[in-house]
Amino acid sequence: MIPSYKGGFYKVLDYAAIFMDEQHRIALIKGDISKVFSSTSFSLASGTHLFQIDWSQVLDEPPSLSKGSHATRLRSGEWVLFLTIELPVSSPELAYMILVCRLDGEFRMEEDLQSSSLDEMPVKSDSMKKIMDIIHRISEVDSTVLLLGETGVGKTRLARYIHEVSSRSKQPFMVVNCGAIPDSLIESELFGYESGAFTGGRSKGKKGLIESADGGILFLDEIAELPYSIQSKLLEVLQEHTFRKVGGTKSMKVDIRIIAATNKDLQKMVQEKMFREDLYYRLHVVPLTIPPLRERKEEIIPLAELFVRKFNQKYGLRFALSSNAKDRLLANPWRGNIRELENTIERMVVTQSEEMSHREDGRPFEMGEQLPPLKEAKRQLEKELILRAYELYGTTYKAAEVLQVDQSTIAKKVKQYREEEGQQS
């Protein structure tokens, strides 16, 4: 969501473009980055991984490939806007472009226009009301929360809401998708590293996300994907509130609250020696199981109408749901939960059609039925195949092996499909 500024317009002072490959390594830079970031000592080198850059030198928050737009402050106090664009597959050596714009400091962000995470999750069912009651009861304490539930039920939005109502709401909220970061990078991404820790690292070392979240909340999405070798280091954070950087010998104190989320059966993973038992019990302090959308049907129409308003505003349209369309929405099992509903509503709005583009009973299309565009059908099939493989085998590595593609491709696609348009996992 692009922030609103008083005056109604952006005034861009400087800008630059960062191009990256599929492995999220910088391939090309257009423009003067040091000028955009108001720092002559900050530079970006070709071949550097996005997660290995110490953005804390110049920014309050690092850029994110999962957000279409993201605004944060420079250390100088000015605003900088990131616009992330996924490039066409016709240029395989360039997968992403991040446009970085430094904005006129005279404009101020209108924080009152920023919507609450709860605004995008209407609470109508008794089961969700009970969950919200628990969240408010634990708002002033630092107990670890474990969010459980199927893909797309709204775990990330709920985590953001926990932050908004907590005593740490004015402090950082750092998000880590444990399934989207390669195993070789996740340790340094979480814990940071000291100078000289490994070849290719920054000469001054790097601050990790745990240290960046000090005073606030660290949200570990897809916690079941955290490598077993890293789980013991996270246990130290939970037990002792200390951590050590990669290559470091000194323990550092940190004051954070942890929220974790998964759609996996962690108890089963413990039994299969795929997840540490001691870490499981440290995370399982306040477990909240979010019911699937099919079990809270009273929220389907309010959510659908919210998404209609959202996409009407986004695309400048005036689509409205008929009574018949609402009946069909209520009859759908929504195996993809809120994410599937949102994608369906967006398709309805942009096509100005109440065709849902798939059968409510999940069966394939038959002759004589309304058919989706070929491009949309191929994308939907790819999405279902990749997510099904990921759900079935539990890791992006195994899913990639079965589908006979690179692990980086699966990790990228899983992240894209599970976090696109709202990050609702």
Residue 301 has pLDDT above 70, yes or no: yes
Percent of the chain exceeding pLDDT 90 equals 32
**Closest C-alpha among 412, 425, 337, 381 to residue 22:** 412
Instruction: Using alpha carbons only, give the angle 331, 334, 339 rounded to the nearest 5 degrees.
Output: 135
Distance CA(84)–CA(63), nearest Å, equals 9
Residue 96 has pLDDT above 90, yes or no: no
Q: Which residue has the tokens 């070709």?
A: 46
Residue 14 has pLDDT above 50, yes or no: yes
Residue 274 backbone dihedrals phi, psi, to 5 degrees: -100, -10
Residue 114 has pLDDT above 50, yes or no: no
Distance CA(358)–CA(352), nearest Å, equals 16
| More confident position, 196 or 5 | 196
53-68 mean pLDDT: 71
State the helix-helix crossing angle for 300-315 and 337-351, rounded to 10 degrees.
40
Q: What's 195's DSSP letter?
A: T
End-to-end CA distance of the chain: 17
The predicted pLDDT at position 79 comes to 81
Instruction: Using alpha carbons only, give the angle 221, 65, 80 rounded to the nearest 5 degrees.
Output: 115
* Maximum mean pLDDT: which of 111-125, 168-182, 250-264: 250-264
Residue 89 has pLDDT above 70, yes or no: no
Count of residues in the chain: 425
Residue 293 has pLDDT above 80, yes or no: yes
Distance CA(381)–CA(413), nearest Å, equals 13
Distant-in-sequence, close-in-space partners of 311: CB < 8 Å, separation ≥ 6: 317, 319, 345, 346, 349, 350
The predicted pLDDT at position 366 comes to 38
Helix (H, G, I), strand (E, B) or coil at 273: coil
**Token pair for 199:** 């070849």
Which residues is 70 bridged to in the sheet?
A: 82
The predicted pLDDT at position 202 comes to 65
**Token pair for 286:** 């306040």
Residue 411 has pLDDT above 80, yes or no: yes
Could you report the per-residue pLDDT of 196-248, keeping only the tens digit for each?
Answer: 666 656 667 788 899 999 999 999 999 999 999 899 999 999 999 999 998 88
Q: Which residues of 105-132 are buried (b: 16+ CB within 10 A; e: fewer)?
A: eebeeeeeeeeebbebbbbebeebeebb
Averaged confidence pLDDT in the chain: 81
* Maximum mean pLDDT: which of 88-102, 125-139, 197-211, 343-357: 125-139
Q: Read out DSSP for 296-364?
A: -GGGHHHHHHHHHHHHHHHHT------HHHHHHHHH---TTHHHHHHHHHHHHHHHT----SS-TT-PP
pLDDT band at residue 118 under the 50/70/90 scheme = low
23-41 mean pLDDT: 86
Distance CA(42)–CA(29), nearest Å, equals 14
The predicted pLDDT at position 218 comes to 95
Distance CA(285)–CA(214), nearest Å, equals 21
The predicted pLDDT at position 80 comes to 86
Distance CA(394)–CA(264), nearest Å, equals 8
pLDDT band at residue 396 under the 50/70/90 scheme = confident
Which residues is 59 bridged to in the sheet?
A: 74
**Token pair for 77:** 């106090």
Q: Which residue has the tokens 């970085």?
A: 100
Residue 359 has pLDDT above 50, yes or no: no
The predicted pLDDT at position 420 comes to 62
The predicted pLDDT at position 304 comes to 93
> Burial of 17 by CB count in 10 Å (0-12 exposed, 13-18 middle, 19+ buried)?
middle
pLDDT band at residue 10 under the 50/70/90 scheme = low
Confirm if 147 and 259 have CB atoms less than 8 A apart.
Answer: yes
The predicted pLDDT at position 1 comes to 35
Residue 43 has pLDDT above 60, yes or no: yes
- The alpha carbon of residue 247 and the mean position of all alpha carbons in its chain are separated, in whole angstroms, by 28
The predicted pLDDT at position 303 comes to 92
The predicted pLDDT at position 66 comes to 54
pLDDT band at residue 68 under the 50/70/90 scheme = low
**Closest C-alpha among 33, 11, 44 to residue 99:** 33
**Closest C-alpha among 59, 19, 16, 64 to residue 39:** 59
The predicted pLDDT at position 115 comes to 47
Confirm if 19 and 97 have CB atoms less than 8 A apart.
Answer: yes
Q: Read out DSSP for 221-266?
A: ETGGGS-HHHHHHHHHHHHHSEE--BT--S-EE---EEEEEESS-H
Residue type, 274: M
pLDDT band at residue 153 under the 50/70/90 scheme = very high
Distance CA(79)–CA(357), nearest Å, equals 41
Could you report the per-residue pLDDT of 273-290, keeping only the tens digit for each?
Answer: 999 999 999 999 999 999
